[in-house]
Structure 1
């Protein structure tokens, strides 16, 4: 529904830098147009993706993108009721990564 309105772009895959297993899922790209931010659309879209793709997840954020870090930690914390882990970096990724299982 939201994609038809041109509000967001998402690409998720199984490319993982901190593989929990061979089926670890990852958000490769996630973009909400600025004028549609802060309206719950990003949270709703992320939740729908997580609900459709059960398993181990890792969500990486750019080290300098503090808005993305706040968004993902808030969304994932609410989604998993606080049951997630976070690392500040890995050898192949210089930025925060959140790991969880749904």
Structure 2
């Protein structure tokens, strides 16, 4: 299982860390340059949760219609509160077939 953490670095600002729980290790760190960048990472993480829930180890490119529908359903409350970032959903979904 992978968890995420947003941490502050005096050198670069915010860093989004992907942390594996079992065994514990830091997989990747992404520099977050803007609020849109943070929203993108959060929306992508929601999608990855759906893929994990369905037991599929893939990304948007291989998502089936049911997975895409569930991702959109889970995004809805967030985009309802942050409508200016709705375009990020389209960017992520454009990676699907």
> Of Structure 1 and Structure 2, which has the larger fraction of its residues in helix?
2
- The question of a shared fold, defined as TM-score above 0.5 by the shorter chain, is answered with no
- TM-score normalised by length of structure 1: 0.33
Q: Which has the larger radius of gyration?
A: 2
